[in-house]
Structure 1
Amino acid sequence: MATIEECRAALDKFSDTLGRAEGDVRDAAALDRSVSCRITDLDVTFAGRITGGRIEVAETLQGPPRERAQIRLAMSGDDLVALVNGELHFARAWGAGRVRLEAGLRDLFRLRRLL
């Protein structure tokens, strides 16, 4: 089972990847939205913003987020690490119910280019 530190490192790695993106992916990452990533098996939530093409984690919360973010992800720590490392395909994980993504329709269309 992935640790909180490994999950945070995976989010940092994903943020770095977004920051280096070009073309359509860079355009899709140019959101300014609140974001939360709930790690279900650790009962922890990383909350922050996607801004300037990066994910900025502002706080790590025990349990569910206090406020509803505009973009909400939920998955196990192992799945987060596997997704970021390219070992798990997002669409297959989402289709199998291993990853939950909730956002407004317009955001979902933009995010599909990232995932």
Structure 2
Amino acid sequence: MATVDECRQALHDLAAKLAANAETQGKLDLDRTLACRVTDLETAFHARLTGGRLVDIADGDDPRAKIALIAASDDLIALTQGRLDVTRAIASRQISIKANPFDLLKLRKLL
């Protein structure tokens, strides 16, 4: 099981990757709040997805977030490091993403 600090760092690493991708691939028309709930650590983080970037990462849940990623700590780390395929992880219920269908389609471009 990963620690809260490792999960926080994984989200910051993901934010850096998305920022680099946004510069080369152009901006994605998506501006939504995001909650990342880590089930085995009983903790959460929240942030904002805007222009293909993940910004304003902070501790704590956002119950009103438009997009919610729910995962165990090890799965979150593997997902952000590219060792876990998001489509397979959702299909096998390792992770769960709650969002409206149109946002899910846009998110595929990021992941």
TM-score range, shorter chain: 0.7 to 0.9
Give the paired residue count.
Answer: 109
> Is 1:68 aligned to residue 67 of structure 2?
no
TM-score, structure 1 as length reference: 0.85
SS in 2 for 1:68: coil
**Candidates 69, 72, 79, aligned match of 1:83:** 79
Q: Distance in 1 between matches of 2:96 and 2:35?
A: 11
Q: For residue 17 of structure 1, report the CA deviation from its aligned partner.
A: 0.5
Q: Contact conserved, 1:48 with 1:58, CA < 8 A, in 2?
A: yes
Unaligned runs of 5+ in 2: none
TM-score normalised by the chain length of structure 2:
0.88
Q: 1:46 touches 1:57 (CA, 8 Å); kept in 2? A: no
Q: In angstroms, what is the RMSD of aligned CA positions?
A: 1.6
Amino acid at match of 1:38: R
Overall identity of the aligned pairs, in %: 39
Q: Gaps (5+ residues) in structure 1? A: none
Distance of 1:72 and 1:37 partners within structure 2? 6
**Equivalent in the alignment of 1:33:** 32
Partner SS state of residue 87, structure 1: coil
Counterpart in 2 of 1:9? 9
Q: Which residue in 1 is equivalent to 2:19? A: 19
Q: Distance in 2 between matches of 1:85 and 1:2?
A: 13
